[in-house]
């Protein structure tokens, strides 16, 4: 493969990412310019506030956008940042009056803002690590409520710690050094940081775990760890944004960082769309302009000679209406799940991977054997799998068949440790896998597809595959090569920049197999990869899998109800019925086995009573 082809593909994606970041920056820059040129001093004041809000909401989105969890706790980090920086930068003379009982190690530092910011970031990080060790364990509504609890606790502590914060009284004397240049610069740095994190391996892992924690864990990604990393980075950035906010205000109290600020930021994030940095920026701009526009009319106005009286709370009501409207018309926010700019919806960068780009050569896996030894599992008395033993070596496709409810998927879930076995053992050659974590199964070289599609819906086709290669421990460059190879192997290159959720059904099924293969597994477990495909799509998938089996030498455990598909690929078939092994052998032997015929066709009849037509169907591999 030519170097230029290899280089051009990551380079094209990098260019698309830079262009998307530039779109965010240009959007903010244009609004700031218009505000300052058209409205002068008052416009500049709004622009400073807007830029600080952009920094805060983008920081909030680092957690919320990448994990899918709405946090109400980020006001706590902003408060910490503002108070830490306020204390460190306050002139000593004012400090003696304002905070006479301040502990001596905190007093009289008189630092510049620039010196205080790294300490603010450290304080934010330390608090985030402490709180994150608990909050990162939670998902969804529980995590959101826990974050609200964090906000309430921090607020109470701030009100109570009078020697340090002046309690609920105004904390004054903080140098007002934040001008438009500094606020805009901070917003730019925060946007770039958030974009870099979003596209980094850690950001991709977090987004994958957000979309499907089980599928992410099956790739070796630890969902809790990804939430912790996002929380820490987000908390640290929020603390810095809080410090800047404090230095913009000059005087504040714990109430300045409490519910009204938090809800305003969450509203901005929801209006714009929390899954993207562009969404955060758009939300802040939209809500700020709406609020400032409506505020002009709050004190009453004249409409064609009719005096409209003052409406108290008009700004809040309009914000509430905006949120309702957006949630109703566009639940994912104005920008949606994907970044603004080229690449979104695969419009401009449709052919990120051209069909003409040659794929790097696949590697042959080293010989191993997957051994299931006496595996059992019951669900509330239902024996799903009982004492199942079989082997699936590399270099062979092992078919695993059985009627509905036979226990095939449960068996795969036991091997991949999604379920914990009641008894028995799984080994990969000499490596005992019976007690390792789900993530370690992937690291041991076993990857899988799921019976029901479990793609990362908020990721593009390319991201779905590269995240798998990155999770397998490849460098970014190597992961890009592997992703390119798998996308080509499954004819998905033209859809590289398309959101996975927009693919046609057959392509989605192929993408799940491509994603599993990007781990370069020793053993691949395919749970009904052809389910729902039409005959030509099934044949096409079979051709691709045959090629992969021959080229790479990996072992495949193939489950499917389409016996023609299974028989075409596998040279050894394992048959389950009611959770137990009823036969195994070559496909021909298995087809002639009376127990198999009875399990499939008998339904209470004996093998002798099977009609000629039914027997022929089974022999030809027609789906029973």
Ligand X SMILES: Nc1ncnc2c1ncn2[C@@H]1O[C@H](COP(=O)(O)OP(=O)(O)OP(=O)(O)O)[C@@H](O)[C@H]1O
How remote is the C-alpha of 338 from its chain's centroid? 12
What is the C-alpha to C-alpha distance for residues 594 and 576, in angstroms, rounded to an integer? 14
Rounded (10°) angle between helices 476-489 and 461-471: 130
Compare residues 136 and 385 and give the one whose CB is closer to ligand X.
Answer: 385
Which lies closer to ligand X via its Cβ, residue 258 or residue 450? Answer: 450
Binding mask 363-392 for ligand X (x = CB under 6 A): ----------------x--x-x--------
Least distance (Å) between residue 383 CB and ligand X: 8
Question: From the CB of 175, what's the least distance to ligand X, in Å?
Answer: 60
Q: How far is the CB of 531 from ligand X (least distance, A)?
A: 9
Kindly state the smallest distance separating residue 385's Cβ from ligand X, in Å.
Answer: 7
Considering the complex, state which of residue 420 and residue 477 has its C-beta at the smaller distance from ligand X: 420
Query: What's 451's DSSP letter?
Result: S
**Residue 115 corresponds to which tokens in the numbers above?**
């010196």
With respect to ligand X, which residue has the nearer C-beta, 237 or 406?
Answer: 406
Q: Please report how close the Cβ of residue 577 comes to ligand X at its closest, in angstroms.
A: 9
Tokens linked to 88 = 């460190």
> Is the CB of 90 or the CB of 406 nearer to ligand X?
406
CA proximity to 541, closest of 521, 571, 564? 564
Nearer to ligand X, 268 or 414 (CB): 414
- Shortest distance, position 252 Cβ to ligand X, whole Å: 52
The answer to whether the CB of 448 falls within 8 A of the CB of 525 is yes
**Window 572-591: residues binding ligand X (CB under 6 A):** none
Q: Which is nearer to ligand X, 334 or 414 (CB)?
A: 414
Compute the least distance from the CB of residue 407 to ligand X, in Å. Answer: 4
> Per CB under 6 A, which of residues 387..426 are in contact with ligand X?
402, 404-410
Residue 312 or 379: the one with the smaller Cβ distance to ligand X is 379
Instruction: State the first-to-last Cα distance of the chain, in angstroms, to the nearest integer.
Output: 45
Close Cβ partners of 151 (under 8 Å, ≥ 6 residues apart): 72, 73, 74, 75, 76, 258, 259, 262
| DSSP state string for 126-137 | HHHHHHHHHHTT
**Cα separation of 541 and 544, whole Å?**
5
Contact predicate 600/617, CB 8 Å:
no
| Distance from C-alpha of 526 to C-alpha of 266, rounded to nearest angstrom | 41
Task: Decide whether 144 or 384 has the Cβ nearer to ligand X.
Answer: 384
Structure tokens at 173: 């004397």
Q: How far is the CB of 393 from ligand X (least distance, A)?
A: 22
- Listing DSSP states for 333-401 in one string gives TTT-SS-SSTTGGGSTTTTSS-TTSPPPPPPPPPP-EEEEEEEEEEETTEEEEEEEEEEEETT-EEEEE
Rg (CA), the chain: 30
Nearer to ligand X, 43 or 407 (CB): 407
User: Among candidates 4, 231, 14, 269, which has minimal Cα distance to 132?
Assistant: 231
Residue 13-32 contact track with ligand X, rule CB under 6 A, x = bound: --------------------
For the bound state, the minimum distance from the C-beta of residue 286 to ligand X, rounded and expressed in Å, comes to 44
How many residues lie near ligand X (CB under 6 A)? 12
Q: How far is the CB of 441 from ligand X (least distance, A)?
A: 18
Contact (CB, 8 A) for 520 and 482: yes
Scan residues 423-452 and list those touching ligand X (CB under 6 A). Answer: 451
Task: Tell me the three state secondary structure of residue 407.
Answer: coil
H or E element at residue 193 = helix 180-199
Residues in the site for ligand X, rule: CB under 6 A? 379, 382, 384, 402, 404-410, 451
């Amino acid at each position: 493969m030519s170097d230029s082809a290899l280089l051009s593909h990551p380079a094209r994606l990098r260019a698309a990412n830079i262009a998307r970041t530039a779109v965010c920056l240009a959007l903010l820059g244009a609004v700031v310019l218009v505000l300052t040129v058209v409205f002068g001093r008052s416009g500049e004041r709004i622009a400073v506030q807007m830029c600080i809000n952009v920094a805060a909401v983008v920081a909030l989105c680092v957690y919320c956008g990448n994990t899918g969890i709405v946090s109400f706790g980020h006001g706590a980090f902003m408060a910490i940042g503002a108070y830490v920086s306020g204390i460190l930068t306050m002139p000593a003379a004012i400090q003696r009056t304002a905070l006479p009982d301040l502990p001596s190690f905190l007093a009289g530092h008189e630092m510049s803002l620039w010196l205080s910011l790294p300490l603010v970031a450290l304080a934010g990080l330390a608090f985030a690590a402490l709180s994150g060790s608990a909050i990162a364990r939670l998902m969804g509504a529980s995590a959101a409520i826990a974050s609200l609890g964090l906000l309430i606790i921090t607020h109470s502590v701030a009100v109570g710690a009078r020697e340090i914060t002046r309690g609920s009284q105004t904390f004054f004397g903080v140098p007002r050094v934040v001008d438009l240049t500094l606020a805009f610069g901070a917003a730019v740095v925060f946007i770039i940081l958030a974009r870099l994190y979003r596209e980094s391996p850690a950001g991709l892992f977090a987004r994958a775990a957000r979309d499907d924690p089980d599928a992410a864990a099956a790739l070796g990604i630890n969902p809790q760890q990804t939430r912790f990393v996002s929380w820490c980075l987000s908390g640290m950035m929020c603390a810095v944004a809080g410090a800047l906010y404090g230095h913009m205000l000059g005087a504040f109290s714990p109430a300045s960082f409490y519910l009204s600020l938090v809800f305003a930021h969450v509203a901005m994030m929801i209006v714009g769309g929390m899954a993207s940095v562009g969404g955060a920026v758009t939300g802040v701009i939209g809500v700020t302009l709406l609020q400032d526009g409506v505020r002009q009319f709050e004190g009453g106005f004249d409409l064609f000679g009719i005096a409209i009286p003052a409406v108290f709370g008009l700004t809040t009501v309009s914000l509430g209406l905006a949120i309702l409207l957006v949630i109703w018309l566009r639940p994912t926010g104005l920008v949606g799940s994907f970044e603004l700019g080229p690449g979104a919806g695969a419009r401009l960068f449709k052919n990120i991977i051209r069909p003409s780009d040659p794929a790097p050569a696949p590697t042959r896996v080293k010989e191993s054997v997957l051994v299931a030894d006496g595996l059992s599992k019951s669900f509330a008395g239902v024996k799903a799998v009982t004492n199942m033993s079989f082997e699936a070596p590399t270099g062979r496709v092992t078919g695993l068949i059985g009627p509905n409810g036979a226990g095939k998927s449960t068996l795969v879930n036991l091997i991949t440790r999604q379920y914990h076995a009641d008894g028995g053992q799984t080994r990969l050659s000499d490596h005992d896998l019976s007690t390792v974590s789900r993530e370690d199964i992937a690291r041991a070289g076993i990857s899988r597809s799921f019976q029901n599609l479990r793609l990362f819906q908020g990721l593009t086709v390319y991201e779905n595959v590269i995240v798998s290669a990155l999770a397998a421990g490849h460098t970014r460059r190597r992961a890009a090569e592997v992703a390119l190879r798998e996308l080509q192997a499954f004819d998905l290159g033209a859809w590289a920049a398309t959101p996975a959720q927009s693919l046609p059904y057959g392509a989605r099924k192929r993408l799940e197999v491509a994603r599993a293969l990007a781990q370069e597994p020793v053993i691949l477990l395919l749970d009904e990869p052809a389910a729902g495909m039409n005959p030509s799509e099934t044949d096409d998938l079979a051709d691709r899998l045959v090629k992969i089996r021959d080229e790479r030498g990996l072992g495949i455990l193939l489950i499917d109800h389409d016996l023609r598909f299974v028989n075409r690929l596998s040279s050894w078939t394992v048959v389950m019925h009611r959770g137990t092994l009823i036969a195994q052998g070559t496909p021909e032997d298995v087809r002639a086995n009376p127990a198999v015929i009875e399990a499939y066709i008998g339904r209470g009849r004996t093998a002798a009573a099977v009609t000629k037509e039914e027997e022929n169907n089974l022999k030809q591999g027609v789906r029973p």
